[in-house]
């Protein structure tokens, strides 16, 4: 696993332009309180299993699962010209996969779930973060925090992307009207757009 044993990677820390993805199951904590622990783990692992496969297929780097949240990055350790495009196509594939996940949930009497996905593009410091006893390839920087705020603002079923990601895209996608977000620590409002699909 390259994230856990990143031999050969820059140890000192590197400024990298990446597209950051954060996703989260809407209301999962409330859902989880109505289920037995084993059901919660079944539900979350079915979801994370499907999402992991899709993110890996789009060459995204999964930084972390935090409860039901996923933090992934496109563009580090390896940069590619289509990092932002792969991130958007990955998010679309993740939303498409929810129908199948919910069909299986219904069959087993488990609740349906929906996920909100945020994308943001910016420069972050990538490096081996941690201690001698425990380290991982991780990311630090303002764009990480901004992504988290966009994620907070996303609805179930939605993909919200920052203007920075929209500008980095090479392909054509259908987007909805922009919304403005207030982000802690930034004076100007941040404009985000929902991505509706690829332009056919």
Binding site for its own copies (CB under 8 A): 1, 4, 11-15, 28-30, 32-33, 37-42, 44-45, 48-49, 51-53, 56, 62, 64-68, 71, 125, 127-136, 138-142, 144-145, 185
**What DSSP line would sit under the chain, residue for residue?**
-TTT--TTS-SS-EEEEEEEEEEEETTHHHHHHTS-HHHHHHHHHHHHHHHHHHHHHTT-EEEEEETTEEEEEESSSS--TTHHHHHHHHHHHHHHHHHHHHHHHHHTTPPP--EEEEEEEEEEEEEEEE-SSSEEEEEESHHHHHHHHHHHHPPTT-EEEEHHHHHH--S-EEE---EEE--TT-SSPEEEEEEEEE--
Q: Do residues 115 and 46 touch, judged by C-beta distance below 8 A?
A: no
Question: To the nearest whole angstrom, how small is the minimum distance from the Cβ of residue 36 to its own copies?
Answer: 8
The least distance separating its own copies from the CB of residue 1, rounded to whole angstroms, comes to 7
Looking at the Cβ atoms of 54 and 159, the one nearer to its own copies is 54
> To the nearest whole angstrom, how small is the minimum distance from the Cβ of residue 112 to its own copies?
18
Query: CB-wise, 126 or 169, nearer to its own copies?
Result: 126
Q: Which is nearer to its own copies, 38 or 200 (CB)?
A: 38
- We find the least distance from the C-beta atom of residue 4 to its own copies, in angstroms, to be 7
Residue 137 makes CB contacts below 8 A (sequence gap 6+) with 2, 3, 6, 9, 61, 63, 76, 77, 126, 127, 128, 129
Q: Which is nearer to its own copies, 98 or 169 (CB)?
A: 98
- What minimum distance in Å lies between the beta carbon of 140 and its own copies? 5
Shortest distance (Å) from residue 137 CB to its own copies: 11
Taking the least distance from each CB to its own copies, the nearer of 75 and 127 is 127
Q: Which is nearer to its own copies, 91 or 183 (CB)?
A: 183
């Amino acid at each position: 696993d390259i994230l856990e044993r990143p031999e050969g990677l820059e140890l000192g820390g590197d400024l990298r332009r990446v597209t950051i993805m954060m996703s989260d199951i809407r209301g999962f904590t409330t859902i989880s309180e109505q289920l037995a622990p084993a059901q919660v783990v079944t539900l979350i692992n079915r979801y994370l299993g499907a999402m992991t496969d899709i993110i890996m297929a789009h060459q995204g780097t999964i930084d972390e699962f935090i409860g039901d949240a996923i933090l992934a990055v496109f563009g580090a350790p390896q940069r590619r010209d289509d990092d932002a495009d792969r991130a958007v196509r990955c998010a679309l594939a993740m939303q498409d996969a929810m129908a199948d996940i919910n069909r299986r949930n219904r069959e087993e009497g488990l609740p349906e779930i929906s996920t909100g996905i945020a994308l943001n593009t910016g420069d972050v410091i990538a490096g081996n973060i941690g201690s001698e006893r425990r380290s991982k390839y991780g990311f630090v920087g303002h764009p990480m925090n901004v992504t988290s705020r966009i994620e907070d603002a996303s609805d179930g079923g939605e993909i919200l992307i920052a203007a920075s990601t929209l500008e980095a895209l090479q392909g054509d996608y259908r987007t909805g009207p922009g919304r403005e977000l207030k982000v802690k620590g930034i004076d100007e409002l941040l404009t985000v757009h929902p991505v509706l699909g690829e332009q056919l």
